[in-house]
Amino acid sequence: MAVWQKTFTNAKTSGTPTEPGPLKEGAWRQVALVPLALATFVGLWAFIVWLTRLPPFILPGPEQVWARFVTVVADGTLLRNASVTLAEVLAGLALGMFVAFVLGYLLSRSRTVERLVAPYIVASQSIPIVAIAPLLIIWFPSGITSKVIVSALIVFFPILISCIAGLRSAEPDLRDLMRSLEATRWQTFIKLELPAAMPMIASGLKVGATLSVIGAVVGEFVGADRGLGFLVKQGQGIYDTPLMFVAVLSLVVIAMSLYGLIALAERYLLAWKQ
C-alpha cells in the first residue's frame, strides 16, 4: 500500500512532463559569453607572441595560424584529413558505447558475472593505451580499423561504469512495484531501469565523446597516412607549427561539438526530470 501511495503522490505532484522551452535570459547570457571568451583567448595569445618575440616555427601568431587554416581549407587538406579522424571518432565511440552497454547490463544484473569479469576490466585500464596501439596497428589491417579499436578501448571504461551505476540506481520501491504488476524483465528495463540510468549514462557519454578523439589521435600518431593526428606529425617533421595549431584546434572543435550534441540530446531526453 505504501508503494502505491508513493507512486500516486509522485504522479500527482509531477504533472505533465515539461517540454524544454526557449533559452532563458541567463542561458542567453552564457551563450553571449562564448565569443567574448574566444576574443579574450585570441587577444592573450597575440599579446604573448608580441611579448616573447618568438619565431613563427616556435610560437606562431593568430594571423599566421589563420592564414595556414585558409590555405589547407582551400586545397582540401583539412577537410580530407578531418573527415577521416571524425569517422574514426564516431565509429570508436559507437563501438565502445555498444560493448559498454551490453556488458554493463550483464554486470548490473549478476553479481557473479561482476566478480568474474570486473577484475580483468579494471586490470586492463592499468595498461597505457599508447602501449597497446602499436600492437593493434600490427594485428589489424591498415586503414581506420585499428584507430577505431583504440578509440573504442579508451571510451569503454567510463561509459561502462556509468552504465552499471545508472542501472543500479532505480529505487527498490519501484522495482517492487514492477514485480507486483508482473512486469517482464524487458518491461522493467525499458520502463524503469533505462530511464533511471539515463542521467549517468549521459554523463559517461560526454566523457567518452572527448576521450574518443584522444583515442583516434593516438592511433594516428602510431601509424597513419591520413587524419588530423597525421597532420600534427607532418607539421612537426617540417617545422610547420601553424599547421600543427590548425590540426590541434580542429580536434578541439570536434571534441566540443560531440560534447555539445550529447548535452543537447540530454536536455531533451531528460526533460521529464525538470
pLDDT reading at 84 higher than 80: yes
Question: Considering the chain, what is the average pLDDT of its residues?
Answer: 82
Same domain (yes/no): 103, 219: yes
Question: Other CB atoms closer than 10 Å to residue 106's CB: what's the count?
Answer: 13
Kindly report, residue by residue over 102-154, the tens digit of the pLDDT.
Answer: 988 888 887 788 888 888 888 888 888 888 888 887 888 667 888 898 899 89
**Distance in angstroms (rounded) separating the CA atoms of residues 72 and 209:** 26
Look up the pTM and report it.
0.77
Does any domain span residue 10?
no
Kindly report, residue by residue over 171-221, the tens digit of the pLDDT.
Answer: 778 877 878 887 778 888 888 888 888 888 888 899 998 899 998 898 888
| Residue 145 identity (one-letter amino acid) | T
Same domain (yes/no): 31, 68: no
> What are the residues whose beta carbons fall under 8 Å from the beta carbon of 208, sequence distance 6 or more?
93, 96, 97, 155, 158, 159
C-alpha cell at 150: 583504440
pLDDT reading at 20 higher than 70: no
What is the chain's length?
A: 274
The pLDDT-based confidence of 8 (bands split at 50, 70, 90) is very low
**Distance in angstroms (rounded) separating the CA atoms of residues 71 and 143:** 26
Same domain (yes/no): 68, 89: yes
Does any domain span residue 7?
no
Q: What is the pLDDT, as a whole number, of residue 4?
A: 41
**Distance in angstroms (rounded) separating the CA atoms of residues 194 and 250:** 34
- Based on the structure, what is the number of domains in the chain? 2
The domain in which residue 42 lies consists of 23-52
